[in-house]
Amino acid sequence: MSVPETDLVLLPALQGQPIERVQRDGVEYVVLGTAHVSRSSVDAVEALLAHEHFDAVAVELCDSRAQSMRDPEAFKQMDLFKVIRQGKAGMVAASLVLSTFQKRLADQSGIQPGAEMKAAMDGADQRGLPLWLIDREVGTTLKRAWHSVGFLQRFGLLGGLLASVFEREEIEQGEIEKLKQGDLLESAFSEFASESQPLYQSLISERDAFMAARLREDAMRSATSEPRRVLVVIGAGHLKGLCELLRTQQDDPATKVAELAATPPKARWPKWLAAAVVLLVFAAIAFAFHRNAALGTQALMSWVLFTGGFAALGALAAGGHPLSILAAFIAAPIKPFRPGIPAGGISAMAEAWVRRPRVVDFDTLRDDIVHWSGWWKNRVARTLLNFFLVSVGTIIGEYSAGIHIFKSLL
SS3 180: helix
Burial of 234 per CB tally in 10 Å (0-12, 13-18, 19+):
buried
Strands 19-24 and 27-34, bridge-based pairing = antiparallel
105 and 175 together in one domain: yes
246 and 276 together in one domain: no
241 and 153 together in one domain: yes
Alpha helices in 20-62 (DSSP H): 39-51
Give the C-alpha separation, 221 to 203, whole Å: 27
What is the Cβ-side half-sphere exposure of residue 371, based on CA atoms within 13 angstroms? 8
Give the C-alpha separation, 49 to 124, whole Å: 8
SS3 380: helix
Give the C-alpha separation, 61 to 69, whole Å: 9
Give me the domain span that covers residue 247.
Answer: 5-261
225 and 247 together in one domain: yes
291 and 252 together in one domain: no
* Ordered per-residue pLDDT tens for the chain, 410 residues: 455 555 555 577 788 788 899 999 889 999 998 876 677 888 899 999 998 999 999 999 988 888 878 876 666 667 777 777 777 776 677 667 666 666 666 666 666 667 889 999 999 999 999 999 999 988 888 788 777 777 666 666 666 665 555 555 555 555 555 555 555 555 555 544 555 677 777 778 899 999 999 999 998 887 555 558 999 999 888 888 999 999 999 999 999 999 999 887 766 766 777 778 788 888 888 988 888 888 889 999 999 999 999 999 999 999 999 999 999 999 999 887 776 778 999 999 999 899 888 777 777 777 777 677 888 888 888 998 899 899 999 999 998 998 989 888 87
Which residues, in sequence order, are bridge partners of residue 232? Answer: 31, 58
H-helix or E-strand containing 235?
Answer: strand 228-235
Q: Which of 261, 279, 313 is the last residue of a domain?
A: 261
203 and 60 together in one domain: yes
Give the C-alpha separation, 87 to 93, whole Å: 11
- Overall domain count for the chain: 2
Q: Which of 261, 279, 295 is the last residue of a domain?
A: 261
84 and 148 together in one domain: yes
Give the C-alpha separation, 376 to 316, whole Å: 11
Give the C-alpha separation, 285 to 272, whole Å: 20
Contact partners, residue 394, CB within 8 Å, separation at least 6: 307, 310, 311, 314, 328, 332, 335, 342, 343, 344
Which residues, in sequence order, are bridge partners of residue 264? Answer: none
252 and 130 together in one domain: yes
Residue closest to 381 by CA, chosen among 341, 401, 352: 352
Instruction: Give every strand in the sheet of 56-59, ordered side by side.
Output: 19-24, 27-34, 228-235, 56-59, 131-133
Residue type, 92: V
DSSP 229: E
Q: Which of 230, 261, 292 is the last residue of a domain?
A: 261
Does residue 187 contact residue 35 with C-beta atoms inside 8 Å?
no
139 and 255 together in one domain: yes
Give the C-alpha separation, 359 to 180, whole Å: 36
75 and 193 together in one domain: yes
Give the C-alpha separation, 282 to 380, whole Å: 36
Which residues, in sequence order, are bridge partners of residue 228? Answer: 27
115 and 233 together in one domain: yes
H-helix or E-strand containing 326?
Answer: helix 322-331
pLDDT at res. 322: 95
Does residue 69 contact residue 114 with C-beta atoms inside 8 Å?
yes
DSSP 14: G
Contact partners, residue 201, CB within 8 Å, separation at least 6: 148
- The backbone torsions φ and ψ at residue 229, rounded to the nearest 5 degrees and listed phi first, read -130, 130
What is the Cβ-side half-sphere exposure of residue 9, based on CA atoms within 13 angstroms? 7
300 and 351 together in one domain: yes
